[in-house]
């Protein structure tokens, strides 16, 4: 049995250009999954696309930093930045507050619930959770998210750690690779959490593409796909889009590279489909026992 690969685009709902790229890639069989931002400027457009494309797995991109909350600000005070209305503007600020015990578990649960419920109330069958800037690497975030996932009948969560074989390819900047290697020490704790250990909330064997964020060129993607193990389940994390005027209006370090990733996926995924031992493309709703949620399966060597 070939390995299984989820190709997931983050930031669905960020702009109309990001949404357009995601639907184009899915229709080209170059993307199977995405995670929707509950407070993204193009949320309504993303919902319309998702409802029109039931084979696209749609998760919730839970935002706890660098964004706008779905909850009333007074309900989540420990998550807010200096303005008292939006989240802390940087990941470093968030991590420092988290490690100092200044962020309430109840506030994380409350905000995650608000974001998931917004998607579900719009008719989205939420396949999984991940987090903006991978904040659920930290147990203080993962634990409440897993509880919320069970309460909301969300069957899976992103494994926020990159595998050694993927890091060993040497893609991305040296500083970013060192950072990812350092936080990898948290992986065992993630895998030992009861919901993960007992498969009450499913995850993959690892996420690839984290170290290559901002560096996912065609050659890079091609090398990753050929290095993929012969068995296991993995997620390729990507950020395709169109670098247009709408993108100029939002805070993101990924601008021109969204075009690069879109092009790389369009070329490399279909090309890999024509080669031997191509991985089976799935979305998170098709992991394990949750495959019955949606009876849609994609194999890369299908015509």
What would the 3-class secondary structure string for 73-120 be?
HHHCHHHECCCCCCECCCHHHHHHHHHCCCCCHHHHHHHHHHHHHHHH
- Residues whose CB is less than 8 angstroms from the CB of residue 24 and which lie 6 or more positions away in sequence, other chains included: 262, 266
Dist. CA 156–CA 58, nearest whole Å: 11
Coil, strand or helix at 37: coil
**Rg (Cα) of the chain, in Å, rounded?**
18
Dist. CA 108–CA 179, nearest whole Å: 24
Residue 58: predicted pLDDT: 98
| Helices (H) then strands (E): counts for the chain | 12, 8
- What are the tens digits of pLDDT across the range 146-170? 999 999 999 999 999 988 888 878 7
- Residues whose CB is less than 8 angstroms from the CB of residue 245 and which lie 6 or more positions away in sequence, other chains included: none
Residue 295: predicted pLDDT: 37
Residue 291: predicted pLDDT: 42
Q: Give the CA count within 13 Å in the CB-facing half-sphere of 108.
A: 25
Look up the domain containing 143 and give its range.
4-299
- What are the tens digits of pLDDT across the range 233-260? 999 999 999 988 888 777 676 778 899 9
Distances (CA, A) of 112 to 15, 61, 97, 219: 21, 10, 18, 36
Residues in the chain: 303
Dist. CA 94–CA 147, nearest whole Å: 21
Selection from 123, 120, 112 nearest residue 48 by Cα: 123
Whether the pLDDT of residue 209 is over 50: the answer is yes
Burial 41-60 (b: 16+ CB within 10 A, else e): bbbebbbebbeeeeebbbbb
Q: How many domains does the chain have?
A: 1
Beta strands at 233-238 and 207-208: parallel, antiparallel or unpaired: parallel
Read off the pLDDT band of 297 (50, 70, 90).
very low
Question: For the ranges 100-114, 157-171, 216-230, 231-245, which has the lowest average pLDDT?
Answer: 157-171
Dist. CA 152–CA 25, nearest whole Å: 28
User: Do the Cβ atoms of 44 and 62 come closer than 8 Å?
Assistant: no
> Considering the chain, what percentage of its residues have pLDDT values greater than 70?
93
pTM: 0.90
Alpha helix ranges (H) inside the chain = 16-27, 43-52, 91-99, 105-121, 139-151, 164-167, 174-183, 187-192, 194-197, 218-227, 245-248, 256-273
Structure tokens at 197: 């250990």
Selection from 40, 97, 88 nearest residue 65 by Cα: 88
Residue 253: predicted pLDDT: 67
Coil, strand or helix at 134: helix
CATH code, domain carrying 151: 3.20.20.370
State the distance between the two ends of the chain, measured CA to CA, in whole angstroms.
Answer: 19
What's the whole-number mean pLDDT along residues 215-224? Answer: 92
Dist. CA 153–CA 285, nearest whole Å: 11
- What are the tens digits of pLDDT across the range 25-82? 999 999 999 999 999 999 999 999 999 999 999 999 999 999 999 999 999 999 999 9
Residue 195: predicted pLDDT: 96
């Amino acid at each position: 049995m070939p390995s299984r690969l989820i190709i997931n685009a983050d930031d669905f709902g960020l702009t109309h250009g990001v949404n357009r790229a995601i639907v184009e890639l899915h229709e080209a069989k170059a993307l199977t999954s995405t995670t929707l931002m509950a407070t993204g400027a193009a949320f309504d457009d993303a919902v319309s696309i998702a409802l029109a494309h039931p084979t696209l797995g749609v998760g919730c991109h839970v935002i706890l930093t660098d964004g706008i909350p779905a909850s009333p600000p007074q309900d989540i005070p420990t998550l807010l930045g200096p303005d008292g209305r939006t989240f802390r503007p940087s990941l470093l600020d968030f991590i420092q507050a988290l490690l100092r015990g200044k962020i309430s578990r109840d506030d994380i649960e409350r905000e995650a619930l608000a974001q998931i419920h917004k998607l579900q109330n719009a008719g989205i069958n939420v396949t999984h959770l991940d987090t903006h800037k991978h904040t659920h690497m930290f147990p203080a975030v993962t634990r409440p998210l897993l509880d919320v996932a069970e309460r909301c009948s969300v069957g899976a969560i992103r494994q926020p750690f990159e595998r050694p074989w993927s890091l060993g390819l040497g893609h991305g900047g040296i500083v970013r690779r060192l950072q990812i290697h350092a936080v990898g020490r948290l992986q065992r704790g993630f895998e030992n959490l009861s919901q993960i250990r007992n498969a009450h909330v499913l995850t993959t064997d690892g996420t690839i593409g984290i170290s290559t964020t901002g560096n996912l060129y065609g050659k890079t993607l091609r090398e990753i796909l050929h290095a993929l193990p012969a068995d296991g389940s993995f997620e390729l994390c990507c950020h395709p889009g169109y670098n247009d005027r709408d993108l100029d209006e939002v805070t993101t370090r990924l601008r021109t590279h969204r075009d690069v990733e879109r092009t790389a996926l369009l070329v490399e995924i279909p090309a890999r489909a024509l080669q031997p031992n191509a991985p089976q493309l799935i979305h998170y709703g098709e992991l394990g026992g949750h495959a019955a949620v949606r009876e849609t399966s994609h194999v890369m060597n299908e015509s």
